[in-house]
């Protein structure tokens, strides 16, 4: 494995994303940082980003990372800066680094970064360039799910206030929702994401549905290894999009990490790519017809929802059954 150096970004790549209603070239940089302050107190149950951070990273390293980003940047209109936490957390991204990013990228069409709500107030929002989109990880609008299942450390209300503050400053908001937080059945998860999107719609320009992806060294991984958690079906993601299409004003999108793998959102294995492609297409077009794909495993998914309801369990029924069969054979 390549040695990880504090002065190199975690990753950089180019992709296509929407800005001002059209698809444009986009540059993505994941800065390697000292890590999310919340993750140092245990963090969220599904988040393994602390494994990507290096506690010793400081201003000098981050400035060198920005030099490398600048070298790679070729004038793409949309630039996204991810960290393994919050761009607006001064402990993670010192002010000088923040100011340099704003200086170098305030001229592009769109600049996106993520932040927890506690780092956003009117004063901070007032200092952000006009091309900024702040991405807020609401995950769920249900306070109990947020507290017990996600262990987010803030309330839906905190996220809403931060979103409104960003909007009041004339900037845009992308809200992330977590599809299938731990301990929820597949059916409850669909319902939760639909409700949460309607909640976030009031202050979000975009809503990104992120199916839980089992990351290493997380509570989610412990449960998954014991067969107590199955990442959501892609059909559930499609269902959420279908139920929301036409019922929210925000643009709906999803670009699942680990899609089609056992750790990520998945179906039967045969149709995964086709259905994920449909979700990607829908994310750009917002045309619900693009979600009209089929596979025989859709019935299996429907039966899974029924079986879960009957058993009242969020354990991985499918895996339980196949393990049981394997034991009997």
Q: Which does 295 bind (CB under 5 to 8 A by kind): Zn ion, ligand SF4, none?
A: Zn ion
In the block, residue with structure tokens 């992308």 = 174
In the complex with Zn ion, which residue's Cβ is closer, 199 or 233? 233
Q: How many residues bind Zn ion (CB under 5 A)?
A: 5
Q: What SS3 class is residue 176?
A: strand
- Say if strands 78-82 and 110-114 run parallel, antiparallel, or are unpaired: parallel
Q: Which does 116 bind (CB under 5 to 8 A by kind): Zn ion, ligand SF4, none?
A: ligand SF4
Report the C-alpha gap between 33 and 36 in whole angstroms: 8
Q: With contacts defined by CB under 5 A, name the span among 134-142, 212-220, 264-272, 320-328 that binds Zn ion.
A: 264-272
Burial code of 165-175, b = ≥16 C-beta within 10 A, e = fewer? bbbebebbbbb
Min. distance of Cβ 302 from Zn ion in angstroms? 12
Q: Which does 268 bind (CB under 5 to 8 A by kind): ligand SF4, Zn ion, none?
A: Zn ion
Does residue 238 bind Zn ion (CB under 5 A)?
Answer: no
In the complex with ligand SF4, which residue's Cβ is closer, 9 or 301? 9
Q: Which does 39 bind (CB under 5 to 8 A by kind): ligand SF4, Zn ion, none?
A: ligand SF4
In the complex with Zn ion, which residue's Cβ is closer, 162 or 297? 297
In sequence order, the 6+-apart residues with CB closer than 8 A to the CB of 173 are 133, 134, 135, 136, 163, 166, 167, 203, 204, 205, 206
Does residue 267 bind Zn ion (CB under 5 A)?
Answer: yes
Residue 313: phi and psi, rounded to 5, are: -130, 145
Task: Identify the helix (H) or strand (E) that includes residue 93.
Answer: none
Does residue 293 bind Zn ion (CB under 5 A)?
Answer: no
Over the window 294 to 313, marking each residue x when it contacts Zn ion by CB under 5 A and - when it does not, the resulting string is -x-x----------------
Report the C-alpha gap between 145 and 198 in whole angstroms: 16
User: Which residues of the shown chain bind Zn ion in the complex (CB under 5 A)?
Assistant: 267-268, 271, 295, 297
């Amino acid at each position: 494995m390549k040695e990880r150096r504090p002065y190199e970004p975690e990753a950089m790549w180019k992709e296509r994303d929407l800005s001002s209603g059209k698809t444009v070239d986009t540059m993505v940089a994941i800065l390697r940082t000292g890590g999310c302050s919340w993750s140092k107190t245990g963090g969220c149950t599904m988040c393994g980003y602390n494994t990507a951070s290096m506690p010793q990273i400081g201003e000098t390293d981050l400035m060198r990372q920005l030099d490398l980003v600048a070298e790679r940047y070729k004038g793409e209109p949309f630039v996204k800066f991810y960290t393994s936490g919050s761009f607006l957390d001064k402990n993670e991204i010192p002010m000088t680094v923040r100011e340099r990013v704003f200086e170098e990228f305030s001229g592009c069409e769109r600049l996106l970064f993520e932040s927890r709500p506690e780092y956003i107030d009117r004063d901070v929002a007032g200092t952000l360039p006009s091309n900024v989109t702040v991405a807020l990880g609401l995950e769920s609008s249900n306070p109990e799910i947020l507290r017990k299942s996600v262990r987010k450390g803030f309330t839906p209300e905190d996220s809403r206030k931060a979103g409104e503050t960003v909007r009041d400053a004339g900037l845009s908001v992308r809200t992330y929702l977590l599809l299938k937080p731990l301990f929820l059945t597949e059916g409850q998860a669909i319902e939760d994401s639909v409700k949460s999107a309607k909640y976030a719609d009031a202050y979000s320009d975009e809503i990104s549905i992120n199916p839980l992806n089992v990351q290493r060294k997380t509570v989610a991984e412990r449960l998954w290894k014991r067969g107590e958690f199955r990442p959501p079906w892609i059909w559930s993601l499609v269902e959420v999009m279908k139920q929301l299409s036409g019922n929210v004003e925000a643009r709906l999108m999803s670009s699942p990490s680990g899609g089609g793998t056992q750790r990520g959102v998945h179906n039967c294995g045969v149709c995964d790519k086709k259905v994920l492609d449909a979700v990607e297409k829908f994310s750009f077009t917002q045309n619900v017809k693009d979600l009209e794909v089929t596979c025989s495993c859709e019935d299996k998914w429907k039966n899974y929802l029924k079986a879960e309801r009957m058993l009242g369990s969020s354990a991985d029924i499918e895996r339980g059954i196949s393990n049981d069969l394997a034991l009997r054979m």
